[in-house]
Homo-oligomer: A and B are copies of this chain.
Amino acid sequence: MDFQSCFPVWEQLTVAQRERVLSGLLRRHVEKGTVLHNGSMDCTGLMLVESGQLRAYILSDEGREITIYRLFDRDICLFSASCIMRSIQFDVTIETEKDTDLWLIPAEIYRQLMTESAPVSNYTNEIMAARFSEVMWLMEQVMWKSMDRRVAAFLLEESAIEGTDRLRITHEAIANHLGTHREVVTRMLRYFQNEGMVKLSRGAVDITDSGRLEALERA
């Protein structure tokens, strides 16, 4: 896969703009578990995921986390370049959940592209609207959905991402995705186990009845 075919507005750039992007473009291989962007502390630039998996989350003063969205192959990470828009007044942390290969367009180059090019700016709008939509979905989950439905939804999502019913994940990690405490997750998973929907073992959760988890999620 090359950069040009992954960057959707490539065809709409002028020759000079293309040259500028290519001359500044960086390629990175990042190991799983690396923090790529840390709130307002840095402004690396726009990241384009070639392959891998990123997680964006927010942190409370007490160190609690909640995952706000994830990025996969060919997704764009806008908030690692949040300095290019002064109205972005919130801090997101981005870390790799799997070994990841990505391209990086430095913030200054992307800022200039946006200033010049309506297609690039409109494309950026669409990315932000997509992330905004994910956060609004999450807000609705947090506000209106009970924790049992959120845990069920998370297990099913993980299973779909990993392509397996055996999830190698700790209760602590699930709690960090959902913005709750480990004890709450452990209690919920034990209830699911009693109901025959999952089987718990050291460091793993096996989904044994995905149909019932799905029914719970939709309930």
Chain A residues packing against B (C-beta within 8 Å): 58, 60-62, 64, 66, 68, 85-90, 114-118, 120-122, 124-133, 135-140, 142-144, 179
- A114:B118 contact, CB within 8 angstroms: yes
Nearest-neighbour CB distance to chain B for A108, whole angstroms, equals 15
- B139:A142 contact, CB within 8 angstroms: yes
Nearest-neighbour CB distance to chain B for A208, whole angstroms, equals 30
User: Could you tell me the distance between the alpha carbons of A61 and B135 in the complex, rounded to whole angstroms?
Assistant: 18
User: Could you tell me the distance between the alpha carbons of A118 and B119 in the complex, rounded to whole angstroms?
Assistant: 8
Chain A interface mostly: helix
Contacts of A144 in B (CB 8 A): 60-62, 64
Contacts of A66 in B (CB 8 A): 139, 143
